[in-house]
Amino acid sequence: MKFKRIVIEKIKSAKKGFALTGAGISAPSGIPTFRGENGFWKDKDPRELASLEGFEKNPERVWDWYNERRSIIRKTKPNPAHYALTEMEDSFEQFAIITQNIDNLHEEAGSRNVIELHGNIFRNKCSECGKLFNDIEQLEIPRCDECGGLIRPDVVWFGEALPKEVLQRAIQWSELSDICIVIGTSAMVQPASSLPLFARENGAFVLEINKNKTVISSYANETILGQAETILPELSKIGI
Ligand code: APR
């Protein structure tokens, strides 16, 4: 696969970089995206399934849906795009993966510096006292052993703020990186989709990899249209 000279130069010269990833990087592993042709939100209402209001209205329904997603994700494994990013980590002095995904696949691929903006589906927390719990495989919604509150997935729902320290770390990376590689995100959700813009405003080279054009394409230095699972393994060879 041939890349433009500017892309090669920027990858080779960058000291500090980050990748912002979305559902598109996990799609080749078999995990549905949200807004694509078979996306979750095509026939489901995010307010019912991925919001505190939806959880308070019908906690069992929300717990069931996350159980369904966990059972899909448990059967999947990282794909070449995830592994390519672990290679890239080694070719930069400093590299972070800032992901919107909650599927744990970057960690499973061996990435060491992962910032999970929206949490992790295999971590749970009490909806009352906030106590954290690891993965819980049970059909009926569990209750906290400390306070008896209902347990929920430790993920960020619509209408909820990202954990402050997570967002601060992500913004720091976006302000101090020489390169930002945006992979498989429709860039429809804030504050994640502002990170490439912050990076660009701070002088970083913004490279987008997506099957389709997105709002990022309007200001990215380069957009490579195609499948992340074929592009990234080739891109990761540049830095070596
Ligand atoms: N290679 C590259 N890009 C791909 C691939 C692929 N193999 N498959 C899909 N894509 C792209 C699609 O073109 C689309 O732009 O991935 C993007 C997926 O977009 P969304 O489904 O909107 O997922 P994402 O951007 O991660 O959503 C952000 O929205 O619902 C919330 O919290 C949820 O984290 C999620 C956030």
118 part of the active site? yes
Distance 149 CA to ligand 1 centre (A): 33
Return the pLDDT at 38.
86
Distance 211 CA to ligand 1 centre (A): 10
Q: Which two tokens stand for residue 151?
A: 């347990």
pTM score of the predicted model: 0.97
Q: How far is Cα 56 from Cα 38, in angstroms, rounded to an integer?
A: 27
Count the neighbouring beta carbons within 10 Å of the beta carbon of residue 12. Answer: 10
Query: Residues spanned by CATH 3.40.50.1220 within the chain?
Result: 1-30+77-118+162-240
Distance 128 CA to ligand 1 centre (A): 31
Can you give the chain as a three-state secondary structure string? CCCCHHHHHHHHHCCEEEEEECHHHHHHHCCCCCCCCCCHHHCCCHHHHCEHHHHHHCHHHHHHHHHHHHHHHHCCCCCHHHHHHHHHHHHCCEEEEEECCCCCHHHHCCCCCEEECCEEEEEEEECCCCCEECCCCCCCCCECCCCCCEEEEEECCECCCCCHHHHHHHHHHHHHCCEEEEECCCCCCCCHHHHHHHHHHCCCEEEEEECCCCHHHHCCCEEEECCHHHHHHHHHHHHC
Are the CB atoms for 107 and 78 separated by under 8 Å? no
Are the CB atoms for 77 and 29 separated by under 8 Å? yes
Count the neighbouring beta carbons within 10 Å of the beta carbon of residue 138. Answer: 9
Q: Which listed CATH number (3.40.190.10, 3.40.50.150, 3.40.50.10210, 3.30.1600.10) goes with 32-75+124-155?
A: 3.30.1600.10
Q: Is any ligand 1 atom within 6 A of the Cβ of residue 22?
A: yes
**C-alpha triplet 47, 49, 55: angle, nearest 5°:** 90
Q: Is any ligand 1 atom within 6 A of the Cβ of residue 34?
A: yes
Question: Tokens 């696949």 — which residue?
Answer: 105
Nearest Cα to Cα of residue 133 among 155, 159, 154, 112: 154
Q: Is 10 left (phi over 0), alpha (psi -120 to 50) or beta?
A: alpha
Q: Is any ligand 1 atom within 6 A of the Cβ of residue 117?
A: no
- Residue in 1, 21, 35 to alter for ligand 1 test, most ligand atoms within 8 A of Cβ: 35
Please give the CATH topology (third level) of the domain spanning 1-30+77-118+162-240: Rossmann fold (3.40.50)
Q: Of these residues, 118, 155, 196, 232, which one is catalytic?
A: 118
Question: Tokens 């970089």 — which residue?
Answer: 17
Q: Which atom of ligand 1 is nearest to the CA of 46?
A: 30
Q: Which atom of ligand 1 is nearest to the CA of 185?
A: 25
Kindly list the strands in the beta sheet with 119-126, ordered across the sheet, starting from the edge strand earlier in the chain. Answer: 132-133, 119-126, 151-155
* pLDDT by position in tens, the chain (length 240): 899 999 999 999 999 999 999 999 999 999 999 998 889 999 999 999 999 999 999 999 999 999 999 999 999 999 999 999 999 998 899 999 999 999 999 999 999 999 999 999 999 999 999 999 999 999 999 999 999 999 999 999 999 999 999 999 999 999 999 999 999 999 999 999 999 999 999 999 999 999 999 999 999 999 999 999 999 999 999 976
Return the pLDDT at 114.
98
Q: Is any ligand 1 atom within 6 A of the Cβ of residue 99?
A: no
Query: Residues spanned by CATH 3.30.1600.10 within the chain?
Result: 32-75+124-155
Return the pLDDT at 163.
97
Helices 228-239, 80-91: axis angle to 10 degrees equals 20
